[in-house]
Amino acid sequence: MKGYTVAIVGATGAVGQEIAAVLAERNFPVANLVPLASRRSAGRKIVFQGKEYSVQESLPSSFAGVDIAFFSAGTGVSRELAPEAVKHGCVVIDNSNAFRMEPDVPLVVPEVNPQDLEGHRGLIANPNCSTIQMVVVLKPLHDFKPIKRVVVSTYQAVSGTGLEAMAELTQQCKDILAGNQPKVEVYPHQIAFNILPHIDVFDETGYTLEEWKMVRETKKIMGDESIAVTATTVRVPVYRGHSEAVNIETEGKITPAQAREILSRAPGVQVVDDPEKLQYPLPLMAAGKDEVFVGRIREDFTVSNGLNMWIVADNLRKGAALNAVQIAETLIEKKLL
């Protein structure tokens, strides 16, 4: 198999490190790695598949000769450098919110809409972490009986904010248990032993950008603008693994048993649903795993055709790094590079 020159923009961040790990674990055909980051991280050393690489500053010229670039450094960096990478003939898989809703940019979850990669123009968007895990579960059900409405409440880990948030949770826990006042820097309020019903910025509607991402991205990925989606996104003091309470209303009835059977055959999904044995998805179960876990599947008795379910996935893997690498694998498989 041909080897590719692969760049990771934001290589020293939580998602960038996870992308490198996933590339190695899946034996992605990397002939040469180009780790890129901000000026302050330039010169740092990283090891990939036994070889040491020096982190370089992310510049427009960094993408000369690069085949695939994974962007995980934030919206501003993506807006500035992703178009430059494309000009160099590089295919960009972008993890930020910069281009997701652009009509000519595919927004892809390979288990759900790989066909949207056809005709890409060099720039592909990786969806929001909380959206990815939800649509992997919803799509097989939607194909069986169309979904009319989705109500989702998320319980999102601090790793979704980055390494600084993970460090802050650790330090706050230590401070509180030692009887000291915790410092609050990353989040607007203490996250240790607390939950924050606030992810990203609020707009004039009272919703946050994270909530609107789930609304808009779900419709685009599922290819159905008629699905009504509403979301409440919450940050919880968990290191890895986003959890979601999801309620759906469908056009025809899906029994819990039918849903379990459909999802047990769905790619990338693992059903963990045995309440009598206290078995249901947990963030600890999902940490470090590739699958999206679903359980607590039960009928919603307030509507004719409703189901409740609990969905958990590792936000750094399926919610970011793994999905991005799967996009690249699909491009190779479909000869779209």
Q: How many residues does the chain have?
A: 337
Cα(192)–Cα(165) distance, rounded to whole angstroms? 11
Q: Is 173 a catalytic residue?
A: no
Cα(160)–Cα(197) distance, rounded to whole angstroms? 14
Catalytic residue among 90, 120, 129, 142: 129
Write the burial class of residue 42 (CB in 10 Å: 0-12 exposed, 13-18 middle, 19+ buried). Answer: middle
Q: Is 198 a catalytic residue?
A: no
Write the burial class of residue 335 (CB in 10 Å: 0-12 exposed, 13-18 middle, 19+ buried). Answer: exposed
Catalytic residue among 90, 120, 142, 242: 242
Cα(269)–Cα(261) distance, rounded to whole angstroms? 11
Contacts of 302 (CB under 8 A, 6+ apart): none
The residues that bridge with 311 in the sheet, in sequence order, are 244, 294
First-residue to last-residue Cα distance in the chain = 14
Do 36 and 55 contact (CB within 8 A), yes or no? yes
Cα(227)–Cα(306) distance, rounded to whole angstroms? 14
The residues that bridge with 46 in the sheet, in sequence order, are 53
Residue 83: helix, strand or coil by DSSP? helix
DSSP assignment of 144-164, as one string? HS-EEEEEEEEEE-GGGT-HH
Cα(193)–Cα(236) distance, rounded to whole angstroms? 8
Cα(274)–Cα(270) distance, rounded to whole angstroms? 13
Do 118 and 336 contact (CB within 8 A), yes or no? yes
Cα(299)–Cα(295) distance, rounded to whole angstroms? 12
What residues are annotated to the active site? 129, 242
